[in-house]
Structure 1
Amino acid sequence: MIRLILADDHAILRDGLRALLAAEPSIELVGEATNGAELLALLSTTPADVVLMDVNMPVLDGFETMPELQERFPEVKVLVLSMLDHEHYVLRMLQAGALGYVLKNAAFQEITHAIRTVAMGHRFLCTEIGLSMLYKAAGNGPMPGPGGELAETAAGVGLTARELEVLKLIAEGLTNGEIADKVFTSKRTIETHRQNIIGKTGAKNTAALIKLAIQQGLIS
């Protein structure tokens, strides 16, 4: 039996995974945390084999949590579950000690397979990330979508349609909260999109991001 702790600040995601994992006889969800600080406190009292952890969390995020987790609980395997799909974030978490990285849009079967793989001490990358990194390593730039074209991008930056939409609203001067209201999603999701955009473009700040986007023809 694999003892699993889930660390994610999105209650809906935790509820959904809890319900799905209840039908998995080889995985037992032994605890939940909404941020890194709660996770570390929970691990001090609750033995676990694998931690399924988000990167973008309040109080103590995944990047800040990893060094402490590795030092205090080196026997616990870490599998990242995140919306952040840029290789910069993937490599940073793997270098910090995570054994695997899977995206939140992955099928539940792939997530459970990743949990079992990491529990055995093996590394795991979800299919989408693995194919994307392979495509870029071959010098082909961002991987095309299912239709064969990058969604509304220019100059090979590789933004998704939603990221491009968020970028345009950032350029209009809207805050994360205002953008979230406009596109009917959460502020945390917009923050994640903003991090993905910055990671893909390499911009240092919002002003540099807007300047680069104009130069690349992503916005007018």
Structure 2
Amino acid sequence: MIRIALADDHAIIRDGIRALLQEEEDMAVVGEASNGHQLLALLPDVAVDVVLLDINMPELDGYGTLQQLQRLYPQVRVLILSMLNHQEYVNKMLQAGASGYVLKNVGKAEILFAIRSVAAGRQFLCTELGVDMLYKLSSEGDQPTPSEEDKKVPALSRRETEVLKLIGEGLTTSEIAEKLFTSKRTIETHRQNIIEKTQVRNTAALIKYAVTQGLL
């Protein structure tokens, strides 16, 4: 069971996320807070695996909260859930120790996949941010020459290749499932298999890898 704490100053956001997560058998919301101080006051008494953390909060914002979490509760995984899509915010939070960054406009399947990923010790960056970062890297000419080791392209199945191409086009898990006439869970499984086979850490790295290896 993944024990989750929600930290967001908008009650309607917390209500929506809680309603979404309560449908999942492997997840449970064990605490809520409207700012960083409330979250930190909660943690000594409640066991938490993953914190869904907003950035803009009163009293103690997400960045300050993340720093405190890293110092006091380094075992707790932090998934940033924000409307802020500027690369500077993404870099700042990831460098401060966040395990992932998801925009609030993502679909249900992607946020569930993100939570499960960070809970398992992996990093996660939502598809929209990953694609944006890839385009920026490409426009800056930051395309590294693959080494001989990098050229050992893993064997992806036909369906995994299809899923990878659709991820590269910026489609969400839901959109890919609809396009390929299959379930979201199946797409999540394909996506995780691709990440494991390519040994990348997040969506941005996956797309960048696929481009340099000629998979996209």
Same-fold call, TM > 0.5?
A: yes
Q: Are 1:25 and 2:25 matched, yes or no?
A: yes
> Partners in 1 of 2:109 and 2:53 — Cα distance?
17
Q: 1:105 matched to which residue of 2?
A: 105
> Partners in 1 of 2:113 and 2:41 — Cα distance?
27
> Partners in 2 of 1:140 and 1:110 — Cα distance?
28
> Partners in 2 of 1:16 and 1:91 — Cα distance?
27
Q: 2:94 matched to which residue of 1?
A: 94
> Partners in 1 of 2:85 and 2:140 — Cα distance?
17
Larger RCO (alpha carbons 8 Å, 6+ apart): 2
> Partners in 2 of 1:116 and 1:79 — Cα distance?
10
> Partners in 2 of 1:38 and 1:28 — Cα distance?
19
Question: Quick one: which amino acid aligns to residue 42 of structure 2?
Answer: L
- TM-score in terms of structure 1 length: 0.63
Q: 2:134 matched to which residue of 1?
A: 134
Deviations for 1:143-166, whole angstroms, at most 9, x for unmatched residues?
Answer: xxx9xxxxxxxxxxxxxxxxxxxx
SS in 1 for 2:37: helix
SS in 2 for 1:3: strand
Q: Are 1:60 and 2:56 matched, yes or no?
A: no
SS in 2 for 1:131: helix
SS in 1 for 2:92: helix
Q: 1:117 matched to which residue of 2?
A: 117
Superposition RMSD on alpha carbons, in Å? 1.6
SS in 1 for 2:5: strand
Q: Which sections of structure 2, spanning at least 5 residues, go unmatched?
A: 142-169, 171-216
> Partners in 1 of 2:72 and 2:140 — Cα distance?
41
> Partners in 2 of 1:20 and 1:75 — Cα distance?
25
Q: 1:73 matched to which residue of 2?
A: 73
Deviations for 1:33-71, whole angstroms, at most 9, x for unmatched residues?
Answer: 000111111111111000000011111001111111111
- TM-score in terms of structure 2 length: 0.64
> Partners in 2 of 1:126 and 1:105 — Cα distance?
10
1:140, distance to aligned residue in structure 2 (A): 6.7
> Partners in 2 of 1:140 and 1:68 — Cα distance?
35
> Partners in 2 of 1:5 and 1:93 — Cα distance?
18
Question: Quick one: which amino acid aligns to residue 68 of structure 2?
Answer: E
Q: 1:209 matched to which residue of 2?
A: none
SS in 2 for 1:46: coil
SS in 2 for 1:64: helix
Deviations for 1:198-217, whole angstroms, at most 9, x for unmatched residues?
Answer: xxxxxxxxxxxxxxxxxxxx
Question: Quick one: which amino acid aligns to residue 26 of structure 1?
Answer: D
SS in 2 for 1:106: coil
Deviations for 1:104-132, whole angstroms, at most 9, x for unmatched residues?
Answer: 00001100100000001100000000000
> Partners in 1 of 2:93 and 2:132 — Cα distance?
17
Q: Are 1:6 and 2:2 matched, yes or no?
A: no
Deviations for 1:137-187, whole angstroms, at most 9, x for unmatched residues?
Answer: 11179xxxx9xxxxxxxxxxxxxxxxxxxxxxxxxxxxxxxxxxxxxxxxx
